[in-house]
Amino acid sequence: MENLPEIVVQPDGGPTNKMQLYHFSKELGTSITSDDFSPLIEEACQIENFYRSYDNIQLNKRICNQLGLCIISAVYNVKMLQIQCNDDEFLTVENYKSFNKFLQNLGKIKDFIENISQIRRLKRFIQETDSGISLERLKDEYFQLLKEFRESTSSLELVIRVDNKTDDINKDIEETIKFIQAFECNFEGDSMFSFIDKISVDIQNVANKELSEKDIIPEPHDNQNVRFIECELHKMKRFSVQAALLKNLKGLVNISKFFGGIKHHNQMKMIIEWSQYGDLMTYYMNHKLDILIKLKFALEICSALVFLNAVNFLHRDIKSENILITNDLKAKITNFCHSRLVTEESGKLDIKSTGYIVPEIYNRNTRTHFNTHTSSTYMPEQYDFRCEVYCFGVLLWELAHEKSPYGCFDRDKIYQILYSNHLSKNFDKNLVPEKYVDISIKALRYDPKNRPTICDMYKELYSLYI
C-alpha cells in the first residue's frame, strides 16, 4: 500500500502536503486557474486508490466500507468537477478553499479507516467502564467525520447521499468489543495493546539486522525438546535475519519458542521448540481427535495468526507439518523459513516446496489453460493476509478430516482442485460443528476479496470452544 503524504491543517483551515506546498497563500482577488486545482484533485484520487488497495480490514468492516463508499462517491464527483475547472465561475478563491477543506476531510477519513480496522491502532478509542470497555469515542468520531463530509461536499455543491446506517455501526462496535474481550484472555496481567506495540516495534527494528553474537550458543540445553533447522551457506544472511525476527516473537501465544543458533564452520542451525508429539499431521495419524481437541487446536492456531497479523508478519507456509503439538497438547505455529514482514519485498514462493497452495499465488507462478481467471493483462498477486486465511481454511479442513487435503492428487493437477473448489464440496459436515464448517468454507473461497478476515475466524472459533 502506498504511503500517502500527510495532510496537515494550515491557518486558513485548508490542508497542505509536507512534500509539496500548494498555493494556499492566494488572497481574495488573486486569479485562480485550473492548474491550481489539479494537484488537489490528484491528491483526492490517491486517497481513493488507498482505499481500493487496502486489503487488511480486520475489524469494523461495515464502518470502513461505509466511509470507503463516501471516498469513492466523492472522488467520482470530483472528477466531474474537472470539467468545470475551465469555467471561470467555478475558478474562485472560495471554491479553492472549499476544496482544501474537502480534501482535509478525506484525509481524516483515510486515517480513521486505518485506525479502526487494525487491533494495534484501536487503543486510542477504548474507554474503561464499570461493565467492561466502551468504543463511544469511535462512534463519536465516525459521526463527526460524516458531518464534516456532508458540509465539505455541500460547499462544493456535490450531491452525495450518505446513510448513517446506525444499526450497522452498533453491530460493528458490539462485535469489536466482544473480540477484544475474547482475545485479551491470551494475556495474563499484560496489556494486549502494549504487548503488540512492543513486538511490532521490535520486529521492525530487526527487519534488516542479523542475529547477534549473544544469540549464538555452543550447545542446546535439551536435545529431546528442540528441533534444528539447518541453513545453506549461500542463504546464511536471510536465515540469520529470520532468526532475529523469530527471537522477537518470543512470548507471543501459540508461537514456538526460539532458543538461539548454533554456528558450526560455515553453517548455522536455528534451534526451536519441539516435543515428543511432533507436528499436527504426525499427531492425528497416531491419535484419534475428538471434537473438543479439534476446536482447541483450531482456536490456538487462529490465535497465533491473529497475533502475526497484528504485528504485520506473514508466515507464508501454514500447513499441518508446521504446527507443533507440545507435550501439554497446545498447538503452536513453527518453522518460519518463508516468513517476512508485510513491509518487506515479497519474494517468489516456490509452490513445489511449500505446503498448501493458494489460488492467486498459483496463478502468479503458473499459466495454464485451466486458468480462465487470468487475462492477457494479468498482474501478479502478492502474498498477503488473505492468502494466510486460505491456508488456514485448508488446515481446518485437514484438522476436521484428519487426513491430507490433497491426498493422492498429482501436484501438477492441483489447479483443477483449486478451481473446482474440491475441498469445500467434499467437506464432511458430520465431523465438526456447523459454524466450523461454514467459516472453513468461507476461507476457501477462490476470490480473496470474499474470504473472512482472521479476526472473523477467531470470533467464530472462540464462540464454539468457549
In a domain, 199, yes or no: no
Residues of the chain with pLDDT under 70: 1-30, 84-87, 189-190, 207-224, 231-238, 240-241, 251, 264-266, 345-355, 365-381, 408-412
Cell of 376: 492477457
The neighbouring-strand residues paired with 216 are 261
In a domain, 1, yes or no: no
**In a 10 Å sphere around its CB, with 0-12 CB exposed, 13-18 middle and 19+ buried, how is residue 369 labelled?**
exposed
CATH of the domain at 369: 1.10.510.10
In a domain, 355, yes or no: yes
Q: How many domains does the chain have?
A: 3
Same domain, 345 and 405: yes
In a domain, 203, yes or no: no
For the chain, the first-to-last Cα distance in angstroms comes to 36
Contacts 24+ apart (CB under 8 A), 435-440: 435/460, 435/463, 435/464, 436/294, 436/295, 436/298, 436/396, 436/400, 436/460, 436/461, 436/464, 437/400, 439/396, 440/393, 440/396, 440/397, 440/400
Q: For 4-35, how does the pLDDT look when each residue is reduced to its tens digit (9 = 90+)?
A: 334 343 434 444 443 333 444 444 446 777 78
Same domain, 308 and 250: no
In a domain, 194, yes or no: no
Same domain, 126 and 177: yes
In a domain, 366, yes or no: yes
The pLDDT value recorded for residue 30 is 60
In a domain, 196, yes or no: no
Domain-terminating residue out of 186, 201, 234 = 186
Same domain, 260 and 324: no
pTM equals 0.84
Same domain, 62 and 173: yes
Same domain, 35 and 174: yes
Same domain, 217 and 338: no
Q: For 297-346, how does the pLDDT look when each residue is reduced to its tens digit (9 = 90+)?
A: 999 999 999 999 999 999 999 999 999 999 999 999 998 888 888 877 66
Domain-terminating residue out of 226, 248, 273 = 273
The pLDDT value recorded for residue 8 is 41
Same domain, 286 and 265: no
DSSP codes joined into one string, 120-181: GGGGGG-EEETTEEE-HHHHHHHHHHHHHHHHHHHHTT--------HHHHHHHHHHHHHHHH
CATH of the domain at 245: 3.30.200
Domain-terminating residue out of 136, 151, 186 = 186
Same domain, 438 and 388: yes
Same domain, 346 and 441: yes
* Domain span at 232: 209-273
Same domain, 288 and 422: yes
Same domain, 156 and 267: no
68: closest CA among 38, 35, 98, 106?
A: 106
In a domain, 214, yes or no: yes
